[in-house]
Structure 1
Amino acid sequence: ADLKSTDRVLEVGPGNGILTRKMAQVARVITIEIDASLAKKLEGLKNVEVINEDAMKVDFSSLDFNKIVSNIPYHISSPLTFKFLDETFDVAILMYQKEFAERMVASHGSKKYSRLSVMVYQKADCRILENVPRTAFRPVPKVDSCIVEMKPVGKRFDVDDEIFDRVVASLFSHRRKKIKNALMIDGIIDEEMVARLPFMDERVEHLSPEQIAELCRKLEVLNEGV
């Protein structure tokens, strides 16, 4: 994360605080730990503010940070990632389960291309920095991990958020079906709209995020004309 003395780092899930202590030697750290006994161990550390709360219930906008560095709890990877992306910051360096990280950065045409890939791409540039084998941890977990760099881009596509969310969710819920069939199943379009929309005979794995955004913009125009 290239930490400097002027940086203010948000950390979620510090555990025993090994990473927390290293970061606090360089920068100011705000760390959020839900476990009271673990949080207590970190109290009093120089340059560290400890918040003993559920991170999903903390108002991040009330915190002063410009970077995020976390070995985040894997069971809340998705909601926590999008909670991060609702905020303004320079860069995040995050540890994820390998399968999740690969879906985050997957491109269209890949078997790992998913709803997660598109929704993250709408808000950030992501890349895998390093693979971390399960043997690097004690006790040894059942999964391998990856370190991911995430840089916010604001809102990449100028589309209606509700339409974009609904379309992406629908397409990946029916990823083996043609676009027109997936959207009709979920009541997003009807048969009369098919001829007026692009990519109707494609399947979602063949559409780039840019093409999905184009489809959403055309759909928005049609809906406005109804």
Structure 2
Amino acid sequence: MTDATPDSAPMHTAFDPQALPPLREVIARFGLDARKALGQNFLLDLNLTGRIARSAGDMTGVTVVEIGPGPGGLTRALLATKAKQVIAIERDHRFIEALQDVIQAADGRLSIVEGDALEVDPIQIAPAPRVIVANLPYNVATPLLIGWLGRIEEFVSLTLMFQKEVADRLVAKPGSKAYGRLSVITQWRSDARVLFNLPAKAFTPPPKVESTIVHLTPRANPEPAEWKALEQVTAAAFGQRRKMLRQSLKSLGNAEALLAAAGIEPTARAEEVDVAGFAALARAFKAR
């Protein structure tokens, strides 16, 4: 990752989101109904999209990757920042035409990549320094995050919207019901913090759940562990989370010896072990 931000970002024409047609007008003109199969819920309140963009931090000279711009509410807010460029990945072809007004108003700072975000590598399409800011479709939010966490050092930050239940899992601490595999992997690779919640009524159509914005930055000194080994030990441990680890880890071989090598009590349960403990387990498992 490139740490340095250019001393002076290229000058560009100030972008005014209010100068464009209202989002509801764009939706009506192009017949952009939200498709449940694609996890689409539109955030049309420009005050809220502006708040999300600002919460991502100073974006001077940074390339922003957005996932699923839809009618362009968050896209407009991102262009109103000092970002060098915004690259939006959109799977639904209907929105490509609808975003043309925004592209023209963006003075060369907005480009659209048509494709599935699960298959498009943001590192390949966006030069460093890069961030991701996105209202993620709920149905692909977790696999997208896991993919990015594997190379999070390539990003300055990720500012992402999840359904609240998932966001709670990302930041959950040992001993809580929400603490699980996703908590361990997220906190192993990143510093994650909840920024704010968004009520269902803020969206069109309103989802059945509350949403939460989470900000993630690369962890400076992650516990040494191999990704695959950590996935295996957390899958075994949390697959039977109510059992003691000496039972739940039996599928990995000699559980008692594995726990002893990691310095973990065999009577402990998965939800009691912190990230450092799981990293130690992963190292012991890999070594064996």
Cα distance in structure 2, aligned partners of 1:52 and 1:179: 46
Cross-structure match for 1:64:
126
Cα distance in structure 1, aligned partners of 2:158 and 2:171: 14
Please give the per-residue CA displacement for 1:31-88, whole angstroms capped at 9, x wherever unaligned.
0010001122223342111011001111222122511110011101111012222241
Pick one of 41, 66, 74 that aligns with 1:11.
66
Cross-structure match for 2:142:
78
Cross-structure match for 1:39:
96
Cα distance in structure 2, aligned partners of 1:173 and 1:135: 35
- Percentage identity across aligned positions? 34
Pick one of 136, 141, 161 that aligns with 2:227.
161
Q: TM-score, normalised by structure 1?
A: 0.90
8 Å contact kept, 1:180–1:194: no
Cross-structure match for 1:98:
164
Q: TM-score, normalised by structure 2?
A: 0.72
Distance 1:214 1:192, change over 3 A: closer
SS of residue paired to 2:183 = helix
Mark the runs of 5 or more structure 2 residues left unpaired by the alignment: 1-55
Distance 1:154 1:42, change over 3 A: farther
Please give the per-residue CA displacement for 1:89-121, whole angstroms capped at 9, x wherever unaligned.
111111110000000100000010011000111
> More deviation in 6-15 or 145-154?
145-154
Cα distance in structure 1, aligned partners of 2:237 and 2:60: 45
Pick one of 187, 190, 198 that aligns with 2:254.
190
Pick one of 161, 167, 181 that aligns with 1:115.
181
Aligned residues between the structures: 220
Say whether residues 1:24 and 2:66 are aligned partners: no
Cα distance in structure 2, aligned partners of 1:79 and 1:105: 17
Residue type matched to 1:6 in 2?
G
8 Å contact kept, 1:122–1:155: no
Distance 1:30 1:181, change over 3 A: same
Cα distance in structure 1, aligned partners of 2:223 and 2:256: 26
Mark the runs of 5 or more structure 1 residues left unpaired by the alignment: none
Cα distance in structure 2, aligned partners of 1:190 and 1:72: 41
Aligned-CA RMSD value? 1.8
Cα distance in structure 1, aligned partners of 2:160 and 2:227: 25
Residue type matched to 1:130 in 2?
F
